[in-house]
Amino acid sequence: MSISVFELFKIGVGPSSSHTVGPMVAARQFVQDLASREQLQKTDRVRVHLYGSLALTGIGHGTDMAVLMGLLGEAPDTIDVDTIDEKMAQIEQDHKLLLSGDHNVEFIRDRDLLFHNDEFLPQHANGMTCQAYRGEELLFERSYFSIGGGFVLSEEDFAHKDQIATLLPFDFSSGTQLMELCDKHGWSIADLAMENEKAFRSEQEVKDNLWQIWEVMDASIQRGCRQGGVLPGGLNVRRRASELYRELSKQTEEERNHGLAILDWVSLFALAVNEENAARGRIVTAPTNGAAGVIPAVVAYYVQFVHDPKEHGDLKDQVVKFLLTAGAIGMLFKKNASISAAEVGCQGEIGVACSMASAGLAAVQGGSNQQIENAAEIGMEHNLGLTCDPIGGLVQVPCIERNTMGAVKAINAARLALRGDGAHIVPLDSVIETMRQTGIDMQSKYKETSLGGLAVNAVNC
């Protein structure tokens, strides 16, 4: 399956790529499918069934909101997040829903949005089935699967996902193949990733779009540093980034660059992004929403504390190099394991983001391809087995703090790799396969169901 870096880095809305972005995309696709079948105007009622993890943690993840917004025709990257509450209230009040912004149908939430907590569709833990009716006649039904990172497959696509034609001129399905292709052509990992992206858009468009991705990441950091108060959802989690920002801003230049003080800033960057994510703000899925703070925090660390124009060149070029390298590593996890916590636990989110960030940071600090691969391997190796056990089904505890730890681990992984010559005992491919096997063996209660771990052992106050 062909994967673009822009599928791993997508501008969207919080709090979850699998449970918010994916269902919004799926619901929007359903109304588009209806329209293409010339059945939209015939429909007078829709019903959506949520299964597995989407049902078990759907309310906490905003899945209900996402489905309704998708049915309205809204997309994660363009929706005005400030209008969501108003639109939800209007649907509740009128018991009407404007499908695709064009066709009014009856919609009674408790009747037409159903959570099947005890039932999983066989294809994937994040399944949903959408139905369109005219009276009691079922006009059209289709199931969709949110497979992680905002990726969505219909039931038909899911059955043939491995047969999708490859369009990339220098495609790779393993770390070994990636390294061999780079060696053959004398390219860095970022160079090869750019050549593949040029199959879809011009080189300048790739650079401009990746810079825009960074601008949205940076904006989420900046907004997160300004916003205070309590996060929505009922856990009464207080936003900490703004207070930490005010405290750190009082530091002198010497204090800021002394010892481990820089790590306080890295933690701040990650906190800010994931508090924005939890508040349903605009963020970049990287490669998921639950792990959306790791890569922005590490890029911000590089931009603010490492980058030297005389040594490293143009900042935009370096950020592009970081994201292309990170994207190439993310593709390996996407192809050979999973970036869905509902499939493999949080190792597929924080772990993958840490691995991607480690590789990107090693690349912009002059690392060889071997050192970059080593950094990516270290980043994942020490996240193996990480469970997904969100309290209350919310992307808040322990998710927000896990992003700070993922970012700090990524920096350490890159530093370790750059101190070596690139030689290492465990190849990245072996770590990815181990992660996949670990995810299979992990009990389902530890995979984004809120049925185990901290989700049941922590005291909710």
Domains in the chain, ordered, with CATH? Answer: 19-146 (3.30.1330.90), 175-459 (1.10.4100)
C-beta neighbour count of 140 within 10 angstroms: 18
Q: Which range is least confidently modeled, 168-177, 253-262, 447-456?
A: 253-262
Report the residue count for the chain. Answer: 461
Angstrom distance (rounded) from CA 132 to CA 61: 25
Q: How far apart are CA 430 and CA 445, in angstroms?
A: 26
Using an 8 Å Cβ cutoff, are 439 and 385 in contact? no
CA of residue 120 relative to chain centroid, distance: 22
For residue 157, what pLDDT band results from cuts at 50, 70 and 90? Answer: confident
> Which residues touch 392 (CB under 8 Å, ≥6 apart)?
60, 233, 234, 235, 450, 455, 460
Q: Is residue 447 a contact partner of residue 343, using CB atoms and an 8 Å limit?
A: yes
Q: What is the pLDDT of residues 185-201, one digit of tens each?
A: 999 999 999 999 999 99
Asked if residues 16 and 126 have their Cβ atoms less than 8 Å apart, the reply is no
Q: How far apart are CA 145 and CA 23, in angstroms?
A: 8
The per-residue pLDDT of the chain, averaged, comes to 94
Asked whether the predicted pLDDT for residue 459 surpasses 70, the reply is: no
Q: How confident is residue 256, by pLDDT bands cut at 50, 70 and 90?
A: confident
DSSP-derived pairing of the beta strands 126-134 and 137-148: antiparallel
155 pLDDT above the threshold of 60: yes
pLDDT at 319: 98
Give pLDDT tens digits for 12-59: 999 998 999 999 999 999 999 999 999 999 999 999 999 999 999 998
| Six token digits for residue 44 | 């007078």
The candidate with the shortest Cα–Cα distance to 356, out of 281, 302, 415, 295, is: 295
Question: Which residues touch 163 (CB under 8 Å, ≥6 apart)?
Answer: none
Quote the pLDDT of residue 161: 64
Does residue 148 register a pLDDT over 90?
no
**Beta-carbon neighbour count of residue 317 at 10 Å?**
14
pLDDT of residue 461: 43
Residue 162 has pLDDT above 60, yes or no: no
Q: What is the pLDDT of residues 291-340, one digit of tens each?
A: 999 999 999 999 999 999 988 899 999 999 999 999 999 999 999 999 99
| Number of neighbouring beta carbons within 10 Å of residue 438 | 18
**Angstrom distances, CA of residue 227 to CA of 217, 241, 264, 265, 393:** 16, 8, 18, 17, 23
Asked if 54 contacts 117 with a C-beta cutoff of 8 angstroms, the reply is: no
What are residue 153's DSSP bridge partners? 145
Give the pLDDT band (50/70/90) at residue 451: very high
Q: E strands, 75-232, where?
A: 96-99, 103-106, 113-116, 126-134, 137-148, 151-154
Q: Mean of the pLDDT values across residues 198-217?
A: 97
Confidence band (pLDDT; 50, 70, 90) for 142?
very high
- The per-residue pLDDT for range 399-415, each reduced to its tens digit, is 999 999 999 999 999 99
**In the block, which residue shows the tokens 């480690």?**
358
Question: Cβ(108)–Cβ(133) under 8 Å?
Answer: no
Q: Averaged over 131-151, what is the pLDDT?
A: 94
